[in-house]
Structure 1
């Protein structure tokens, strides 16, 4: 099950669990659309994998399977 991380690893922006503008790689590294597009060129800086749209978990499943609250942030990614 996906963690649904709460922030962009590049700019630390908050990312809503139901946002359409969140991208992840196969390791669940998580980025906002703006950073994915303008800085990362849709390639994960951690693993080199493709960044794709993160699926949205149905709201009726969030109670039993909540999103992660652990923030991962690497400010050095903006200076690539």
Structure 2
């Protein structure tokens, strides 16, 4: 099951469980669509893989399997 991490690892933007702009790689590294396009050139800085839109977990299932609250932020990734 996906962790549904709560923020972008590049800019620390909030990405709630229903965020349409959340992107993940095969290892669940989580970034916002803006950073994927503008800062990361579509490639994960951790594994080199590509990104896909993160699936949205239906709200009825979030009570049983909540999204993660652990924020991951990598200082220095963000390029204006």
Alpha-carbon distance in 2 for matches of 1:49, 1:11? 19
Alpha-carbon distance in 2 for matches of 1:17, 1:75? 23
Number of residue pairs aligned between Structure 1 and Structure 2: 79
Q: Which runs of 5+ in 1 are unaligned?
A: none
SS of the aligned residue for 1:75 comes to: coil
Q: Deviation at 1:41?
A: 1.3
Q: Which of structure 1's runs of 4+ aligned residues deviate more than 3 A?
A: none
Q: Deviation at 1:44?
A: 0.3
TM-score, normalised via structure 1 length? 0.95
Q: Show the counterpart of 2:70.
A: 70
Alpha-carbon distance in 2 for matches of 1:10, 1:72? 9
Q: Show the counterpart of 2:22.
A: 22
Q: Deviation at 1:78?
A: 1.6
SS of the aligned residue for 1:77 comes to: coil
Q: Show the counterpart of 1:32.
A: 32
Q: State the superposition RMSD in angstroms.
A: 0.8
Asked if residue 6 in structure 1 is aligned to residue 6 in structure 2, the reply is yes
1:42 and 1:52 in contact (8 A); partners too: no
TM-score, normalised via structure 2 length? 0.95
